[in-house]
Amino acid sequence: MSLVGKKYPSFSAPAVVKGYEIVEDFSLEQYLGEKHVIFFFYPKDFTFVCPTELHAFQAKLEEFEKRNCAVVACSTDTEESHLAWLTTPKKKGGIEGVKYPVVADTAKTISMNFGVLGGGYKFNADTQSWSFEGNPIAFRGTFLIDKEGIVRHESINDLPLGRSVDEYLRLLDALQHVEEYGEVCPANWKEGELAMTATNEGVASYFSQN
């Protein structure tokens, strides 16, 4: 089920912050009332597509921060694995230089609650035991969360499909425009372009100018 329009699922989990420091009780609550959040999941540390995405978010981090938006990553790897990856040079497949928080969802509950886990636990009544069916890692889920903790956008890519970081900047710009001006943003809208009021007259005015 989609989380759009709902409060994000709260959590407290270990994370690596600033690229080198492990904290045991990281949560998104610290941003409530203060910042928008891009919260994104990736499958695994020390893989192939994943480092390109984490570096891409880091390359645009200043742009997100200009918009008062925090970027937070999450996977089902341990915080120790995150730290090792964060201290491995880029040319060796690492993500050294990434400064935003990377959350460790080792219990897989965060991924499950956000609806991005590649499988789930099933109970076998015959053996009276639980087993995991599917892939016990997260898909490439991305969530845009407003200052009130409401999910305003979500997208989920399958494992081989990398994201466009620029699209999340565009969506963030659109959300902040809506919040500030009360206008709605049409297809392919970018900051500085015409938006519209959600009325027949507004639509007519928009198309008359485009």
Distance, in Å, from the CA atom of 101 to the CA atom of 104, rounded to the nearest integer, reads 10
Residue 185 catalytic? Answer: no
Beta-ladder partners of 134: 119
Number of domains in the chain: 2
- Active-site choice (50, 69, 74, 185): 50
CATH number at residue 100: 3.40.30.10
Tell me if 8 is assigned to some domain.
no
Tell me if 173 is assigned to some domain.
yes
Tell me if 2 is assigned to some domain.
no
Tens-of-pLDDT digits for all 210 residues of the chain?
899 999 999 999 999 999 999 999 999 999 999 999 999 999 999 999 999 999 999 999 999 999 999 999 999 999 999 999 999 999 999 999 999 999 999 999 999 999 999 998 889 898 989 988 999 999 999 999 999 999 999 999 999 999 999 999 999 999 999 999 999 999 999 999 999 998 988 776 878 887
What pLDDT was estimated at residue 201? 82
What pLDDT was estimated at residue 208? 84
* Prediction pTM value: 0.94
What pLDDT was estimated at residue 205? 81
My answer on whether 75 and 27 are in the same domain is yes
What pLDDT was estimated at residue 132? 87
My answer on whether 156 and 177 are in the same domain is no
My answer on whether 148 and 68 are in the same domain is yes
My answer on whether 24 and 119 are in the same domain is yes
The residues, ordered by sequence, that sit 6+ positions from 184 with a Cβ below 8 Å of its Cβ are 178, 195, 196, 197, 198
What pLDDT was estimated at residue 198? 86
Tell me if 42 is assigned to some domain.
yes
Tell me if 78 is assigned to some domain.
yes
My answer on whether 119 and 169 are in the same domain is no
- Domain encompassing residue 174: 164-210
My answer on whether 46 and 142 are in the same domain is yes
What pLDDT was estimated at residue 59? 98
What pLDDT was estimated at residue 101? 98
